[in-house]
Amino acid sequence: MLITIPAVLSKADVTQVRARLDAADWEDGAKTAGPQSVEVKRNQQLPPTGDTAQTLGQFILQKLTANPLFVSAALPDRILPPMFNKYETAQTFGTHIDNAIRINPLTNERLRTDLSMTLFLSEPSEYDGGELLVEDHYGTQSVKLLAGDLILYPSTSLHEVTPVTRGARVASFFWLQSMIRSDAHRSILFDLDQTIQSLSETIGSNADETVRLTGIYHNLIRTWAET
């Protein structure tokens, strides 16, 4: 399930974040690549434990965890600190799959990666190429969003970033462990929650149908949650 979360950051927020990133010192992204990924990874990253990455990461998490659509889709348990990357001309990240377990660089806590996220911080007009390609049940999906928008997708997906041919693609990327391990179960819960929200607007949150569906939603979470 690929879900776009629009306007996680406002345009003013993006401008603020980009001012910090454009003034930052970047390093070779291969430093954080695994044995397989290092062969296909050509980009730049901010040191994840640096002041800039930590400050901007906290800002992004505050915005994201207050977003109802994100919470509904992800049902997050724990979220790794956001990281930041930049792709300039000829830089790319070939087809790969994210590590199943990642370690929080700030706490050394181990976390299962259920969902991957990319928050776009460059407008599509700022660069050519640089599409995020994600393989799912319906084929390969090409993603290139407005600055401030986020794409959420299963970490089990093969994906890549195509070569940038003009400009620079700047983004934040990170992972989370969901309360619901199964992507299929999360999809069902997301559809059900969105239906409940729609019914709440049309017939009211206290209508019998809305209350019954809300009960079903929470009972399914009780059945499937691992936290």
Residue 172, number of CB atoms within 10 A of its CB: 25
Residue with tokens 């559809």: 191
Closest CA to 179 of 190, 169, 192: 190
Alpha-carbon distance values, 175 to 139, 193, 200 (Å): 22, 22, 31
Does 98 show up as a binding residue in the annotation? yes
Find the length of the chain: 227
By CB neighbour count within 10 A (0-12 exposed, 13-18 middle, 19+ buried), where does 169 fall?
buried
Does 185 show up as a binding residue in the annotation? no
Does 159 show up as a binding residue in the annotation? yes
3-state secondary structure at position 2? coil
Does 112 show up as a binding residue in the annotation? no
59: phi then psi, degrees, rounded to nearest 5: -60, -45
The β-bridge relationship of strands 92-96 and 41-42 is antiparallel
What dihedral do alpha carbons 83, 86, 92, 94 form, nearest 10°?
A: 10
Tokens at 50, concatenated: 């640096």
User: Going by C-beta distance under 8 Å and a sequence separation of 6 or more, which residues neighbour residue 211?
Assistant: 205
Rounded to an integer, what distance in angstroms lies between the CA atom of residue 209 and that of residue 203? 9
* Residues contributing to the annotated binding site: 96, 98, 159, 169
* Residues contributing to the annotated binding site for Fe cation: 96, 98, 159
* Residues contributing to the annotated binding site for 2-oxoglutarate: 169
